[in-house]
Structure 1
């Protein structure tokens, strides 16, 4: 769900290449990424701003329940990512002469299983999840800028007065590789933010477990699980990452190592944040930090970096909208008859999508509740329902009974969890 999820190193010591481009290059040539590079790319594709909402989720569920929720979400996500790799392996064995040999996308799997409807459903869910991530970006940036410059304007005003014009200007950049340095900068700022949060947390540890709940009841667990699933989201990149490796047989082990490490980091970060601030923990943990020069510099730096990686998050949305736009009869006729109409139409669609996302972000008051909702609905469908469906359809006939039952379990769990997320939002309004 993070903009940096669209950037990873394809081979050797080459600069970061957006995975949306790397996958296309992978169709023309084999991947050359080493295991170490792929490990780093997996971490980049998964870890994003959602981690900064984990301490609030731990406050909601309790530090023990939160830790268990993060571990469960990580293990479930890893299993379902490996289901996609199983599907790719099966198709590769069956279709050795295919041009897409070894280079299937998530949408390709949907089409292989359920035809055009399967591809459309998969890509629509990816589109919505990208839009949700883009909205979360703007909420995060607006609230952090407001925490540093509270005397200037509200979070919504920051979105409209500063972020919207900047993002409209950046939407004219069509080459994502030119934005890759900002992805690296965003990663550095994210690490610095986590380090400063932990440093501040440790300074507050007097009696860390006093008045801190370990378990707040069963009804709090889905909220935390939704935030954790949002934090582990990176499914649309799984097959591209696997294809980018020089030794693809090592991908399962590399992916397992990365997810295990992320689970430890997420759980530790969530526990430290909650133990430090207790019931005053905010839904974006950086908002708990004092406004001294170091924390303010990290907040502003993180906001700037995320603002420049926001176009990467929007890129899949622009691609889908532009393809539909260009295929319409009206647009074809207009482009043929009016000079410059194609350029104007495509960039107008980009500006419109940025504006729509900005408007949505300005009306969402709570970052934590929003990412939990996205995680428990759209991300649950992408992370659990579709992988289980695809695995049953492609590999099901050759699986043992217990593997089929396990897949059905993930399928039913994903549907139930997504339904719960929708019902919770409806009842809360």
Structure 2
């Protein structure tokens, strides 16, 4: 068994691929990323770098993005963007470490790939603490449990978001106007309950879950990203106009509301569970580092810009989702219908 194999050897040997007794674990990981270190080759029918980038963007950009303006309000117009930048740097750094550790154990155990839980288990087995080595399998179980819980929670949020947005737009359809400076709906047309919308979407989402091939799913991610980009262009086009004086906003908010910001920001950077599956299914995994750092840079800039501009535009009136602050004019109000599948499909 691979578990026994790790325990029969000196744990210090697992800090790098070619580490000497005098080298530290951190030095070993640095050596691992050198040009002569281990490189994993993917399958011939794996995903291309573009398909992987599409999946990476979709797995990170979701409904949390729309709540970032309120999160910035809870942190302050200065503290909020700076905190988002720090959280983004920490997130991408940890993603990079996760990929390096997975490569390391693939090499040591002669495996084609390892998942998130296996990487944690093998890492604990290489620990100098005997208790962690003896209970390493519980590390894998713990990670798998929290991955299931978090992904289930994310999917529930997206499901509710999708249904509520369609319900809201359909009810407000008769009240839309060409006046984009008025955020009031004239006539509401009552429709069915949101739970009935969920039931209507359920068969299509269940069928989508059965598609396990990332190459086949790339078309759905691409379509979702296109609708999301169009929606974001509409949002940016509205929030950059006539921005009020930013000096009226607090640079740093109360420490009592900062945990609310932190929770929303962590929820927004939700894609670490997809890092290894995406890298494992690449046709050329050697390009994944470029995709990871480039994609996360795009995501972090998007988060900071939308969060800051949304708060600057609406100030203390910003709501839980920035779409609730948009007027019901025909081209901005329909942004909810257009963008809901893009923000929800993950």
In the superposition, the TM-score normalised over structure 2's length comes to 0.70
User: Which residue matches 1:408?
Assistant: none
1:280 aligns with 2:317: yes
What does the per-residue CA deviation read over 1:182-234, in whole Å, with 9 as the maximum and x for residues that have no partner?
433322222122211111112232x3414222210333333222212211111
Once the two structures are superposed, the pairs formed by residues 51-200 of structure 1 within 5 Å of their partners are: 51-96=65-110, 100-101=111-112, 103-112=113-122, 113=124, 114-148=135-169, 149=171, 151-153=188-190, 158-168=193-203, 170-171=205-206, 175-176=210-211, 181-200=219-238
**1:306 Cα shift?**
5.9
Of structures 1 and 2, the larger Rg is shown by 2
**1:247 Cα shift?**
4.2
SS in 2 for 1:251: helix
Distance 2:54 2:341 in 1: 23
Distance 1:166 1:256 in 2: 34
**1:48 Cα shift?**
1.7
SS in 2 for 1:63: coil
**1:287 Cα shift?**
1.0
Over 3 Å counting, the alpha-carbon distance change for 1:202 and 1:145 in structure 2 is same
Distance 1:302 1:291 in 2: 15
**1:282 Cα shift?**
0.9
**1:243 Cα shift?**
2.7
Once the two structures are superposed, the pairs formed by residues 10-21 of structure 1 within 5 Å of their partners are: none
Distance 1:272 1:116 in 2: 46
Once the two structures are superposed, the pairs formed by residues 18-417 of structure 1 within 5 Å of their partners are: 29=43, 32-96=46-110, 100-101=111-112, 103-112=113-122, 113=124, 114-148=135-169, 149=171, 151-153=188-190, 158-168=193-203, 170-171=205-206, 175-176=210-211, 181-205=219-243, 207-304=244-341, 309=345
Structure showing the higher helix proportion among its residues: 1
Distance 2:318 2:248 in 1: 13
What does the per-residue CA deviation read over 1:345-384, in whole Å, with 9 as the maximum and x for residues that have no partner?
xxxxxxxxxxxxxxxxxxxxxxxxxxxxxxxxxxxxxxxx
Distance 1:61 1:257 in 2: 27
- Structure 1 stretches of 4+ with a deviation exceeding 6 A read none
Distance 1:172 1:191 in 2: 25
SS in 2 for 1:283: coil
Distance 2:218 2:289 in 1: 26
List alignment gaps of at least 5 residues for structure 1.
1-25, 314-429
Distance 2:291 2:316 in 1: 37
What does the per-residue CA deviation read over 1:146-178, in whole Å, with 9 as the maximum and x for residues that have no partner?
543253459xx6431211243156435663267
Distance 2:218 2:142 in 1: 29
Q: 1:146–1:153: 8 Å Cα contact kept in structure 2?
A: no
Q: 2:223–2:342: 8 Å Cα contact kept in structure 1?
A: yes
Over 3 Å counting, the alpha-carbon distance change for 1:305 and 1:270 in structure 2 is closer
SS in 2 for 1:87: helix
Distance 2:227 2:279 in 1: 27
Distance 1:183 1:248 in 2: 20
Over 3 Å counting, the alpha-carbon distance change for 1:89 and 1:185 in structure 2 is closer
Distance 2:207 2:290 in 1: 40
Distance 2:66 2:50 in 1: 26
Q: 1:144–1:286: 8 Å Cα contact kept in structure 2?
A: no
Distance 2:46 2:202 in 1: 33
RMSD: 2.9
Distance 1:258 1:182 in 2: 18
Q: 2:65–2:303: 8 Å Cα contact kept in structure 1?
A: yes
SS in 2 for 1:203: coil
